[in-house]
A = this chain, B = another copy of it.
Amino acid sequence: MSTSSDQSNSDAQDSVPKAVVSRLSLYLRELQHLIRDGRDTTSSTQLGSMLGLTDAQVRKDLAYFGQFGYPGVGYRCAELVSEIKKILGTDQRWHVLLVGVGNLGRALLGYKGFGQQGFRIVAAFDTDRSKSGKEFEGVRVYHLDDLARVVAEQNIRLAMMAVPSEAAQPVVDRLVSAGIQGIMNFVPVTISVPDGVRKVGVDLAIELEQLSYAVVKSGEKV
């Protein structure tokens, strides 16, 4: 479900299932916790049990990308962290922009977790001219009309979008033509992007709905 027009072959030789990549991020997170706790090595069994997965699945997932473990020993945490970062592309630093400096947008600007994983929000955009030139959380706000210029100047490849629903698709079109390669969409709307541009959607209400379903269902069972 990563691209809009999946009927063609935009993800052509995907070969790595999407679920595997998202578990990779979870492994990374747990490994970083293990390192913080002073652990040098771990095993597929340990990693799996931290996340509720089988050991076989952990090994199989990693095997998509190479051989990172040592038979009889396990995985060296620091080494595996750096391998996973290489795979995810977070061994490099990414410049990210934000469109929509509202409620949610400002929270994203202040969110510490991005920087820790290699993402830096370097510019924000809004159509409200009264915000232009201001800074929030140390990030300069530009008018949306300056998008293409700033993207080029600051070498920005990823965008986060937190705008009103009606604005979503028009903003996406502008992001795409400014050369943005990936969009993280917080607007509860299905956006469409051309082949070659990636998107990820985060719909907070949908997550709550999933929770509601799970709670109701587990209630019925009793």
Contacts and interface: CB of A to CB of B under 8 A. Distances in A.
A218 interface: yes
A210 B89 contact: no
Contacts of A94: 208, 212
Given A2-B214, A158-B212, A182-B215, 6 more contacts: A12-B221, A96-B208, A113-B204, A114-B204, A117-B209, A198-B211
Interface residues of A, number: 75
Interface in A195-222: 196, 198-200, 202-221
Oligomeric state, in copies: 2
A87 B7 contact: no
Contacts of A2: 214
A215 B89 contact: yes
Interface of A: 1-7, 12-13, 18, 21-22, 24-26, 28-30, 33, 50-52, 87-90, 94, 96, 103-104, 106-108, 110-111, 113-114, 116-119, 157-158, 160, 181-184, 188-190, 196, 198-200, 202-221
B213 A89 contact: yes
Contact of A208 (B21, B158, B218): B158
Contacts of A183: 211
26 contacts: A1-B52, A5-B52, A6-B52, A7-B52, A13-B220, A22-B206, A25-B203, A26-B190, A33-B189, A50-B190, A90-B209, A103-B110, A113-B203, A114-B208, A116-B205, A117-B209, A119-B205, A119-B208, A181-B218, A181-B219, A182-B211, A183-B211, A184-B208, A198-B211, A199-B211, A200-B207
